[in-house]
Amino acid sequence: MLPKYKRILLKLSGESLMGDKNFGLDSNVIAQYAMDIKKITELGVQVALVIGGGNIYRGMNEAETGIERAQGDYMGMLATVINGMAVQSGLEKAGVYTRLQSAIKMEQIAEPYIRRRAMRHLEKGRVVIFGAGTGNPYFTTDTAGSLRAIEIKADVILKGTRVDGIYSADPEKDPSAKKFNTISFADCISKKLSVMDMTAFTLCMENNLPIIVFDMNKPGNLLRVVTGEKVGTLVS
């Protein structure tokens, strides 16, 4: 089985790590993700990861939390590092070599983000987890994912979600929503489909970086995507 992509960036939401819980981490989900990632590294695919922090803390709503937006965003960045450490632990338990790099310096638990070092780790077959977003408030982890993918010259961003692609409306609310197998960046914008936030999306569009949105919770889906099967929705 030959992979279609040599180097990928896998973007996972923090919420996906909760499984059926309302908060925190589900060890079964982490173990499943670790096995799925291991299978594609065994094909020789170089894997980088960006994980959100929404299962622990969302820094968005100042009115609700009473915490200033920038401060809240930094708290969210720390949440992504906790998630990164959890996934790192799961991957290492599965026998995958990893490196955790943080955009905010915390030497005891993560390397600082250094682009060339990250690329060297990938070349050596290590899974590189990028924590702490971009290191700046007012940017989402989607933007961090797009930015890091461009920096490390990834072939594609794989956005693992709970739904199996991009729909004309929210399929969880609207049963008549139509799924797109492929869609252009321009169509996503004109149809106001929220694939990622606009900053992240524009970065991908300007750098011709394709995005595949797929259901990460179905075991084996990641392998199918990487080997070129028609899974999820391709935005290009």
Report whether pLDDT(60) > 80.
no
> Residue 27 and residue 32: Cα distance in Å, rounded?
9
Residues 210-221: tens digit of each pLDDT: 999 999 999 999
Q: Determine the average pLDDT of the residues in 16-41.
A: 96
Residues 183-203: tens digit of each pLDDT: 999 999 999 898 899 999 999
Residue 17 token pair: 């790590």
Beta bridge partners of 98: 127
7-235 under CATH 3.10.129.10, yes or no:
no
Residues 120-142: tens digit of each pLDDT: 999 999 999 999 999 999 999 99
Report whether pLDDT(174) > 70.
yes
Residues 225-234: tens digit of each pLDDT: 999 999 999 9
pLDDT at 1: 83
pLDDT at 58: 77
pLDDT at 233: 97
Report whether pLDDT(236) > 90.
yes
Q: What is the 3-state secondary structure (H, E, C) of the chain?
A: CCCCCCEEEEEECCHHHHCCCCCCCCHHHHHHHHHHHHHHHCCCCEEEEEECCCCCCCCCCHHHHCCCHHHHHHHHHHHHHHHHHHHHHHHHHCCCCEEEEECCCCCCCCEECCHHHHHHHHHCCCEEEEECCCCCCCCCHHHHHHHHHHHCCCCEEEEEECCCCEECCCCCCCCCCCEECEECHHHHHHCCCCCCCHHHHHHHHHCCCCEEEEECCCCCHHHHHHCCCCCCEEEC
Contacts of 26 (CB under 8 A, 6+ apart): 17, 18, 19, 20
> Assign residue 211 a region: left if phi > 0, alpha if psi is -120 to 50, beta otherwise?
beta
pLDDT at 8: 98
pLDDT at 91: 98
pLDDT at 59: 65
Report whether pLDDT(175) > 70.
yes
Residues 65-116: tens digit of each pLDDT: 899 999 999 999 999 999 999 999 999 999 999 999 999 999 999 999 999 9
Record the pTM.
0.96
pLDDT at 209: 98
Percent of the chain with pLDDT over 70: 99
Domain boundary assignment for the chain: 7-235
